[in-house]
Amino acid sequence: MGEVILRFNKVSFEYDRKPILLEADFSVREGSKITLMGQNGAGKTTIFQLIMNTIKPEAGAINISEKATIATARQVIPREQMTLTVKEFFETAFKQKIYDIEPRIKKILDVVHLSVPITRTLKTLSGGQQARLLLAQALIQNPDILLLDEPTNNLDKQGIAHLKQFLIDYPKTCIVISHDAEFLNSFTHGVLYLDVFTHKVEQYTGDYFDVVKEIQARLERERMKNVRLEKDIEHRKEQAGFFAQKGGHMRDVARKMKEKIEELEGDVVEVRREDKTIRNFTIPCQEDISGKILELKSVSIMNLHKPVVKNVNVILKKKERLLLAGPNGIGKTTLLEKLATGHAQGENITPGVRIGYYRQDFSILNFEETVYRALADVVRDGTEQELRSCAAGFLLDSDILKTKIGSLSEGQKGLVAFARLVLLKPGLLILDEPTNHINFRHIPVIAKALDHYEGAMILVSHVPDFVKQIKINYTLDLETL
């Protein structure tokens, strides 16, 4: 590794009066590949914004090597840019006009294996195509420090393999936020771990799996220390209570014991929130449905950027699940959106069936309303207590319930979307990449809930380990039609 290219020196930052970083110290060396870890909502994306200088620290200093250039591949394309063309989107990456930008765009699109006309509007691209475009926009800048925020989201197997090799070969510095453990372990030199409880950044060296084991071992040591301390505190409290009743000199002994108890209580470490996982949950199925729920006789797929209609024969009843497969850009997300809104060609959904739609860009949520309102809007015959209990199971506490959807991290938006499905009690689930942005600890819990769901389900996912945990009755591969 080379010289230190980036250093955080006692950096503090808070958002909406909530601390995100507290005197954070860490450094990154030139040419290193670093993973940035932390729970959903801990502030990982905030660290990227501080590095990019789009927000300023409240205390401390961020030192970046002179003349070092920085570019970031964001998680999602901002809504206000969705009307831009591909060419216009690349132009926003540069402060000055680039006169030879078209050949540069063609070259970088080849690097990320994306073939789309530069006149295409961004909102017409699939989630996978948008993910590749976000990466390409960062790469075209050839930065000294490359920041990647969940770069594997929406990428198919080929796209992830290509990105993995690119990062292994990339000669410059790279910091990656991702929940894809296998992907991270293929290139990581070290980990920056943002602790949501202490608001510090802990630095580890080694591959990703070794670091995760080290962190888990530390959490277990802290838990065992708490157990010993709590037993000691309980014993001392009993003794102090006994001496306090004796009077005279014994009261002084009791007072000193109470001081020691307070000191010991100060040594108890709160179980770190990273160690928390969402509770096991079930998505109740709509009760008043039976027989055929969905019938699909034709689908529209993209072939050489043009829609082509293909005949299919899909019928889904209760407890039947369809996996919709195919490469990025073939039309999976478009089909799901049309099914969810009742506009798919050759589609018939039984009248009265409630549809629970998990959309990969969360645009089904109103970003201006609070989390509480987003949940209350879909509650069916439930009480206030049931709403709050459901929210708590998805780590959405009373403070988060008051927060606007738009202020949440992408991972927290995903948890809100799942809580809505539980409260909605749908008869048909339509799920578009439901593991995107989700903390890896939560994924087995989500897979279990989907596997036990008793309604009909259509699933799109590029994560084989996730799909394996769910019983699939039928697979429709749009590429082989």
pLDDT tens for 126-174 read 888 888 899 999 999 999 999 998 888 777 778 888 888 889 999 999 9
Residues 198 and 259 in one domain: no
In the DSSP assignment, the letter for residue 184 is H
| Residue 279 resides in a domain | no
Torsion of CA 162, 184, 468, 288, to 10 degrees: -100
Residues 252 and 301 in one domain: no
Residues 195 and 234 in one domain: no
| Residue 184 resides in a domain | yes
Residues 87 and 161 in one domain: yes
Q: Are 404 and 13 in contact (CB under 8 A)?
A: no
Q: Which of 157-171, 265-279, 295-309, 363-377 has the lowest mean pLDDT?
A: 265-279
Residues 449 and 300 in one domain: yes
In angstroms, the CA 288 to CA 54 distance is: 51
| Residue 219 resides in a domain | no
Asked if residue 361 has pLDDT above 90, the reply is no
Please give the angle made by the CA atoms of 342, 305 and 457, to the nearest 5 degrees.
Answer: 35
| Residue 114 resides in a domain | yes
Residue 265: pLDDT band (50, 70, 90) is: low
Residues 171 and 266 in one domain: no
335's CB contacts (< 8 A; 6+ apart) are 299, 300, 324, 344, 478
In angstroms, the CA 460 to CA 470 distance is: 12
pLDDT of residue 127: 81
Number of compact structural domains in the chain: 3
Residues 264 and 364 in one domain: no
304's CB contacts (< 8 A; 6+ apart) are none
238's CB contacts (< 8 A; 6+ apart) are none
| Residue 286 resides in a domain | no
pLDDT of residue 268: 61
In angstroms, the CA 30 to CA 174 distance is: 9
What's the half-sphere exposure (Cβ side, CA atoms, 13 Å) at 133?
31
Average pLDDT value over all residues in the chain: 88
Question: Domain of 364?
Answer: 292-480
In angstroms, the CA 24 to CA 41 distance is: 17
| Residue 40 resides in a domain | yes
For the chain, the maximum distance between any two Cα atoms, rounded to a whole number of angstroms, is 93
In angstroms, the CA 450 to CA 321 distance is: 10
Question: Which residue in this structure is represented by tokens 């040419």?
Answer: 31
Name the residue with higher pLDDT: 307 or 22: 22
CATH label of the domain that carries residue 385: 3.40.50.300
In angstroms, the CA 347 to CA 338 distance is: 9
Residue 387 neighbours by CB distance under 10 Å: 18
Residue 267: pLDDT band (50, 70, 90) is: low
Burial of 97 (0-12, 13-18, 19+ CB in 10 A): exposed
Share of the chain above pLDDT 70, in %: 95
Residues 257 and 337 in one domain: no
In angstroms, the CA 431 to CA 435 distance is: 10
Residues 247 and 350 in one domain: no
In angstroms, the CA 435 to CA 37 distance is: 17
On whether the pTM is more than 0.75, the answer is: no
Burial of 168 (0-12, 13-18, 19+ CB in 10 A): exposed
Residues 395 and 308 in one domain: yes
Q: Which of 180-194, 254-268, 326-340 has the lowest mean pLDDT?
A: 254-268
pLDDT tens readout for residues 9-67: 999 999 878 899 999 999 999 999 999 988 777 889 899 999 999 999 999 999 999 88
Asked if residue 255 has pLDDT above 80, the reply is no
Question: Which residue in this structure is represented by tokens 């024969």?
Answer: 313
pLDDT of residue 321: 96
| Residue 458 resides in a domain | yes
Hey, is 302 helix, strand or coil? Answer: strand
Average pLDDT for residues 84-111, to the nearest whole number?
Answer: 91
Q: Are 427 and 289 in contact (CB under 8 A)?
A: yes
In angstroms, the CA 44 to CA 20 distance is: 9
Residue ending a domain, choose from 213, 243, 262: 213
pLDDT tens readout for residues 275-294: 578 999 999 999 989 889 99
Residue 273: pLDDT band (50, 70, 90) is: very low
Q: Are 47 and 41 in contact (CB under 8 A)?
A: no
Residues 361 and 439 in one domain: yes
| Residue 193 resides in a domain | yes
Name the residue with higher pLDDT: 39 or 366: 366
Residues 164 and 253 in one domain: no
Tell me which residue of 34, 330, 304, 74 sits closest to 193, measured CA to CA: 34
